[in-house]
Amino acid sequence: MNEQILLIYYPETVETFYSKDENYYENNNNAAALEVTVELLHTFNPFGYPLHDLKIAKGCILICLRNLNITEGLCDGTRIIYEGV
């Protein structure tokens, strides 16, 4: 639904951000046995996490979900207006 709203109100300014595409294994001995493709990881959408391809438009309001920098005022629930990268 958010993507549809973005394309209606902000069609020119939509930017797409992608998640990090890298597998991490604590123990390299098991890496071959646990081989998971990056494409498969992109299909997962766990609750509370953003999508693999996050679409944001300039002027949209974002909400901070995790404490990033409390001394700068960025904590849970902070509303941020996206102005670009």
pLDDT over 80 at 66, yes or no: no
Stretch 62-80: mean pLDDT, rounded?
Answer: 80
Q: What confidence score (pLDDT) does residue 33 get? A: 59
**pLDDT in the model for residue 48:** 72
The domain in which residue 51 lies consists of 2-81
Nearest C-alpha neighbor of 62 from the set 72, 46, 77: 77
Query: Taking residues 7-27, what's their average pLDDT?
Result: 78
pLDDT, residue 3, reads: 77
- DSSP string computed for the chain: -HHHHHHHH-TTTEEEEE-------S-GGGTTTT---HHHHHH---TTS--SEEEEETT-EEE--S-SBGGGTB-TT-EEE----
Across all residues in the chain, what is the average pLDDT? 78
Tally of structural domains, the chain: 1
pTM for this prediction: 0.58
